[in-house]
Amino acid sequence: MTLNIFYFLSFLAVLSALMVVLSKNPVYSVLYLIITFFCIAGHYVLLDAQFLAVVHVIVYAGAIMVLFLYVIMLLNLNRESEPHKSTFLKIAATICAGLLMILLVGSLKGTEVIAAKDTTTQGIGYVKSLGQTMFTEFLLPFEITSLLLLAAMVGAVMIGKPRHKGEKVEPLD
């Protein structure tokens, strides 16, 4: 049963990830990427990391993809008139990605021996144990993450701010 759910979620995730790359319209790409993210959240539930699954759906499907969709609609890119690379470059890209996948799988071969099945304690994915780890062992990185988010917020506001009249931007080409 668990294996069947795994196969279904994996198939859907890989298929919609391919559709992200192959679909012409950027809006469709965003929607397919949301499907992929939901499948990954399903994998998290299968892996007994329920809290992470909820956070994943909220952060990715709820915040990041809405931001992408908003930018695409703001820039009015929802039409199928975008430039494409030549066929030779596409074939080269496909071959490179396939070789990379073989390389990754080959180099990760043998890790299943390291991942010895230790089922003494259950429920590391629950809020209680996760918070315990985060606020004892990883307290300093947690605080630094807040600084990172603050810096990103300031940076985004500074970049997006309209410029003054005086400094004229030279248009590229």
Partner 1 sequence: MTTPLSIPIDYYIWLAAALFSIGVLGVLYRRNAIIIFMCIELMLNAVNLLMVAFSTYLNDGAGQVFVFFIMAVAAAEVAVGLAILILMYRNTKSTDINILNRLKW
Q: How many CB atoms lie within 10 A of CB 50?
A: 15
Q: Does 63 bind partner 1 (CB under 8 A)?
A: yes
| C-alpha 169: how far from chain center | 33
Q: CB of 58: closest distance to partner 1 in angstroms? A: 10
- Cα dihedral 8, 14, 18, 19 in deg (nearest 10): 30
* Binding status of residue 82 toward partner 1 by CB under 8 A: yes
Task: Tell me if 100 contacts partner 1 by CB under 8 A.
Answer: yes
HSE on the CB side for 137, CA within 13 Å?
6
Q: Residue from 35, 57, 62, 72 that binds partner 1 (CB under 8 A)?
A: 72
Q: Which of residues 106-125 bind partner 1 (CB under 8 A)?
A: 108, 111-112, 114-121, 124-125
Under the binding rule (CB under 8 A), the answer on residue 74 touching partner 1 is yes
Angle in degrees, 0-180, between the axes of helices 2-22 and 26-46, rounded to the nearest 10: 160
Closest distance between partner 1 and the C-beta of residue 91, in Å? 10
